[in-house]
Amino acid sequence: MIFDKYALKARVFPTFLSIIIPIMVFNHFYTSEEFAKFVNGVLWAKVASNLTISTICLFFLSEVGRIISKNIFEKDYFKDEREMPTTNYLMFSNATYTADYKIKIRKKILSDFKINLLNAEEESMDDTEARRKIIETMALIRKKLMKNTFLLQHNIEYGFMRNFIGGSVVGFLLSLSNIVFFNCLQIDLAVYISIFLLLVYSVFLIFRKSVITFYGNAYARILIREYIGTWKEKD
């Protein structure tokens, strides 16, 4: 993992909040010296001398949340990109933008990438092909705007919430395990903290679709606006 701004804010931070905190709770309240040494050594202590191990563990935990959110939740909600907001918004069958605005976007896409997206009539005859061409084009647009700082901020917000929700699946299971474990040991404070974390993760998991689609829609609108905003149509 390259620890750039996106990786730090959209992958590391949500991993800390959703996965690392329940581990820290277990480490703090459980008196096993060997486990404490393992967690401290691998994740937090002696960072300079154990940088490689710490990076590998952080990368692994970040990937766990990302895989769950991207390959399960996002893939299900957006039908493997076929119904991503960026795809839907450019379809003539979608009422978010006017037909004139969509035609303007298509002219810019033709100018930039020499790609002809399907018009309204062609789209009505082959919805699948229309979506496929938009998906391919949006990948090029994202690459073109990769240095746009305003768009990056919204991409980070979407990535953070998506990955936090993915990590919340793991956080939920870890917190539930902590509740059972510390209840048996009668460590009330650890139980209360774990219950609180369980409730937080539960709320985000219950409303996961609403959260992911909300931030996905916001990112898509900014992407389209930033792409079309600086273009001046030739006479």
DSSP string, 21-36: HHHHHHHHH---HHHH
Report if residue 41 sits inside a domain.
yes
Region 16-36 average pLDDT:
77
Closest CA to 175 of 203, 210, 207: 203
Number of domains within the chain: 1
The pLDDT of 100-110, averaged and rounded, is: 94
Dist. CA 220–CA 86, nearest whole Å: 5
Residue 114 lies in a domain: no
Evaluate whether residue 140 is within a structural domain.
no
Residue 58 lies in a domain: yes
Q: Domain residues for 220? A: 5-84+145-229
Contacts (Cβ under 8 Å, ≥6 apart) of 12: 3, 58, 62
What is the structure's pLDDT at 4?
77
Question: Is 223 inside any structural domain?
Answer: yes
Assigned domain for 188 exists:
yes
Residue 100 covered by a domain? no
Q: Per the domain annotation, does 110 fall within a domain?
A: no
Going by pLDDT thresholds of 50, 70 and 90, the confidence category of residue 35 is low
Give percent above pLDDT 90 in the chain: 64
Q: Which tens digit of pLDDT belongs to each residue from 145-180? A: 988 999 999 999 999 999 999 999 999 999 999 999
Helix (H, G, I), strand (E, B) or coil at 78: coil
Whole-prediction pTM = 0.84
pLDDT score at 153: 94
